[in-house]
Structure formats: structure tokens, C-alpha cells
Amino acid sequence: MKRFDGQLAFYRFARAVLVGLCHLLFRVKVIGKERVPPSGPYIVAPTHRSIIDIFLTATITRRRIRFMGKQELWSTKFGAWLFSSLGGFPVDRSAGTGAVRAALDRLAEGEPVVVFPEGTRRRGRMVVDLKDGAAFLAAKAGVPIVPVGIAGSEDIMPSGSPMIRLRKVAVVVGEPITPAPGTSSGRARKREVETITEHLGTELQQLFDTAFDALPTR
């Protein structure tokens, strides 16, 4: 008999509520959901303009997606249960390789992991200066990257703003980017990572532009 997973059950409930609210409040339009792998580990690589991008990313799949959170959020039993149940996993920011190791562990467990290639919230419609974290993890673990363009979230809750405004959102999923054969041997060569990052940047810009074109007009 399969063991009941309370955290997974809570995630499914919380996701249903949050995604439902996103559709109700922001009229989220999702394009390309069929491109998301139905099983196995992969990296979700969205554009990043607002803190709510984490919730909007959950609209692309019913599967639990994992994201990094600062270790301090897990300092209490309730906090540890809550953030783990919501898909988070703790990262020690003082340890240089802590985030990489934690993400690789989740991928090894067969779960999708969210990595924002832009590193932090940006502004505007240009996708530039990508970090190589997503590409490094993809090459290291031999898993695909699913690029996602999210348009409209910057107007809902811009960086530094505590207020939420009602705006429309479009989420566009691109074709998975799979590391070239031979890059999944447990090593991630610098040139391979650079090539994947460059490809990812091009795809994200196209998806971001497409998402803006797809924003609901009514």
C-alpha cells in the first residue's frame, strides 16, 4: 500500500488554490503546456520580473516543482513543514556550493527544480546577462531545461512594491533544451555551459516577446 505523503497532498491543495486565484485575478493565459515533460527531472527556467513568478510558474504543470529558499525559513518546525510542503528546499547561502548540491539532490530524486536564469528580479523586456546556474545543473545532471516566458507580472507586483495590482498575465512554455550527448557524464565543461546559457537566453527572449504579444486584451 502506497504511503500517504502529507506534504505532497498539501502542495496539491495549495497549488490548486494559488493557481485558481492567479487565473481569477490575473486571467492567466498559458501557452505550450504540452511541451512540459510529463515525468522525470527537469529544470524550469522562467523570466523573472516579480516575486509572484514563483506562483505563476506552477501554472505550467500539476507536478510539484521545487524552488530554493534561504535556510532561515526552515528554522522552526512549522516553517520547515510549510515551506517544504510548498515545494521549497533550504539552501545555505554562506556555502558556495550549497545551492548546487541541494538542487542536484532534488533532480536526482526525479523532481523538477525552478532556477531563475536572470538570478534576481529584473525590469523591462530585455533578457540579458543570464547566470549559468541553470545550464550548469542541466549539464551536470543530464536533464533538460524548460524555458518559460512570463509577461505581465512586473506590473502586478514590481520589485520593491508591497502592493498587488490586478493585471493580465501570459505564460509561454518553450521547447525543452536538452544537453548535447556526452554532457551528462557528471561533469559540466565551461564551454558546454556557455553554449547552453547562450541558447537559453535566445529562447527566453523569444518566449518573453511572445508572451507579451499573447496578453489578453479583454
Amino acid, res. 87: G
Domain ranges of the chain: 27-63+111-213
Report percent pLDDT > 90 for the chain.
Answer: 48
Average pLDDT over residues 119-135: 89
- Mean pLDDT of the residues in the chain: 86
Task: Kindly state the helix (H) or strand (E) to which residue 171 belongs, with its residue range.
Answer: strand 170-173
pLDDT at 187 over 70: no
Angstrom distance (rounded) from CA 218 to CA 68: 35
The x, y and z cell numbers of residue 187, run together, are 561533469
Inter-residue contact 79 to 73 (CB < 8 Å): yes
Inter-residue contact 11 to 85 (CB < 8 Å): yes
